[in-house]
Structure 1
Amino acid sequence: MTAGTAFKVLTADQWMDFEREGLFHGAPVDHADGYIHMSTAEQLAETIAKHFAGQQGLVIAEVDLAQLGKAVRWEESRGGQLFPHLYGTLPMTAVIRVERRD
């Protein structure tokens, strides 16, 4: 499966670190699973509801998947859906749009 973009949901602290370093190495759940979790546009609302319910200050980074190449694998996850998983770090240069949710 291919898509042009995917979305990474970050907390405000994770976003600040990402901006400072220019690379995102992953959230604790990403480290535990061995890849950076991302979602398609269609999966985003459910991902936020399931994993970030009630949290404020979220940042949704839209990522250009073409810049990540073969480091992105589409793998079956929640409900049999294919999700984009990034095996490596996420460079700020791949982020094409940011939405802040307070």
Structure 2
Amino acid sequence: MIELPTLYHLATPDAWDAEASDDYTVSTLGRSLAEEGFIHLSLARQVSGVAEAFYAGRDVILLALDPHRLSARVEFEQVPGVDDAFPHLYGPIPRAAILSATPVPFAQDGAHDFTGLLPEPL
């Protein structure tokens, strides 16, 4: 089996329902899987940049995903203007693939504080 890293998705509290039993289908801020065609994911090293670029000042919940429990394909694709390929999930996130859903606090400077929520870089 290919070893894949934990994948991450940032959700807003209004989009995330911890009690729901159906698959999660929000792609990104204000866009659904049906509208976007895939769900935006990140590697650990990409999460804070995504939070800063798209979720600054917003409450977010960090979903940690087991890539081996995803039923749809994950493709790493280039994003225009960025030197890194991001994972995109071409289907919903099954609830069984969600390892954790953690509200992300803010640091004193107002940025999201992922301390202790993501693995330390090597």
Give the TM bin, normalised by the shorter chain: 0.7 to 0.9
> 1:23-61 CA deviation, whole Å, 9 max, x = no partner?
1112416544310000100000000000100102x1100
Show structure 1 runs of 4+ deviating over 4 A.
Answer: none
Alignment of 1:5-84 (within 5 A): 5-16=6-17, 19-27=19-27, 28=31, 30-56=33-59, 58-68=60-70, 71-77=73-79, 79-84=82-87
Q: Identify unmatched segments of 5+ residues in structure 1.
A: none
Using the size of structure 1 for normalisation, the TM-score is 0.84
Question: How far apart, in 2, do the equivalents of 1:46 and 1:29 lie?
Answer: 21
Aligned pair count?
A: 100
In the alignment, residue 25 of structure 2 is paired with which amino acid? H
SS in 1 for 2:56: coil
User: What amino acid is the match of 2:20?
Assistant: R
Report the TM-score when normalising by structure 2: 0.71
Structure 2 CA distance, aligned partners of 1:23 and 1:47? 23
Q: Whose relative contact order is higher, 1 or 2, with alpha carbons under 8 Å and at least 6 apart?
A: 1
Q: Percent identity?
A: 25
Is 1:87 matched with 2:90? yes
- Deviation at residue 82 of structure 1 after TM alignment: 1.1
Deviations 1:55-95 (A, max 9, x none): 02x11000011112561111111513111100001111001
Shift of 1:13: 1.3
State the match for 2:110 in structure 1.
none
Matched letter for residue 12 of structure 1:
P
